[in-house]
Amino acid sequence: MMPHYRIVEIFETLQGEGWNTGMPAVFVRFGKCNLACPWCDTDYHRFGMMTLTQIVAQVRRFSAPNIVITGGEPTIQPHLPVLLDTLKAEGYFLAIETNGIKAVPAQIDYTAASPKRLYRDVYRKRALACADEIRIVTDGTPEELFDFCQEIEQTIDAPRHYLSPCERAGEMNILETITLLGKLNARPDAPHWQLSLQTHKLAGID
Ligand SMILES: Nc1nc2[nH]cc(C(=O)O)c2c(=O)[nH]1
Ligand code: SF4
Ligand SMILES: [Mg+2]
């Protein structure tokens, strides 16, 4: 039987966050997540089922040569490798936005992992071995996050490290975020952390 997938939305926009900011991409947003962050900005419970053929047809209506697989949490989706094989065969560059607990399928070209301090005990038991970027949401005080950032540096091997302010009710904790950046970057011989904003929200695009 043709595999079916939980799909929240498929839309074309510019990647708003991290190293690939500005990259035109078709975003495929999957339903459900294995975490429940209180600041989550995605209604990942509201999804419909789509077949592999329907997803590929929808993606091809757009012109971007890149796909961002996101959610919800894409790594928990049944039959994900089958879909990725098909999209790869169509020639797409495949990026993924994951919370960094579960392994990412081999077809993925670029992995952005966003571990959550709230679930630090989970990451101590299970996490990705490597990623192309780590992007941590500043979901607490600089004191609370400093140790978690250091722990994740040891857990997930990555060449790029970002902090993303936590947005709740339209308010962003920029001061706490840059304070933490300063503390992390004051360490000698440690990874350099940079700011990543959700620029798509500032720009008023999807
Ligand atoms: N433009 C844009 N960039 C994004 N990068 C990660 C997103 C996400 O929701 O996973 C996202 C999103 O929703 N929109
Ligand atoms: S891991 Fe991401 S998608 Fe899942 S609840 Fe947290 S913010 Fe939302
Ligand atoms: Mg988003």
- The complex scores an ipTM of 0.98
User: Any known ligand binding at 201?
Assistant: no
pLDDT recorded at residue 25: 99
Residue of 27, 73, 117 with the most ligand 2 atoms within 8 Å of its CB, for mutation: 73
- Minimum CA distance residue for ligand 2 atom 7: 40
Q: What is the pLDDT of residues 79-134, one digit of tens each?
A: 999 999 999 999 999 999 999 999 999 999 999 999 999 999 999 999 999 999 99
Q: How far apart are the C-alpha atoms of 27 and 188, rounded to whole Å? A: 38
Q: Which residues line ligand 1 (CB under 6 A)?
A: 13-17, 27, 42, 70, 97, 200, 206
- For the residues 7-15, what does the mean pLDDT come to? 98
Q: What is the pLDDT of residues 39-58, one digit of tens each?
A: 999 999 999 999 999 999 99
Q: What is the pLDDT of residues 141-152, one digit of tens each?
A: 999 999 999 999
Domains plus CATH for the chain? 4-203 (3.20.20.70)
Sign of CA dihedral 167, 37, 162, 59: negative
Q: How far is the CA of 72 from the centre of ligand 2 (A)?
A: 6
Q: What is the pLDDT of residues 158-174, one digit of tens each?
A: 999 999 999 988 899 99
Q: Which atom of ligand 2 is nearest to the CA of 99?
A: 1
User: Any known ligand binding at 14?
Assistant: yes
User: Any known ligand binding at 60?
Assistant: no
Strand partners, 14: 24
Q: How far is the CA of 98 from the centre of ligand 3 (A)?
A: 12
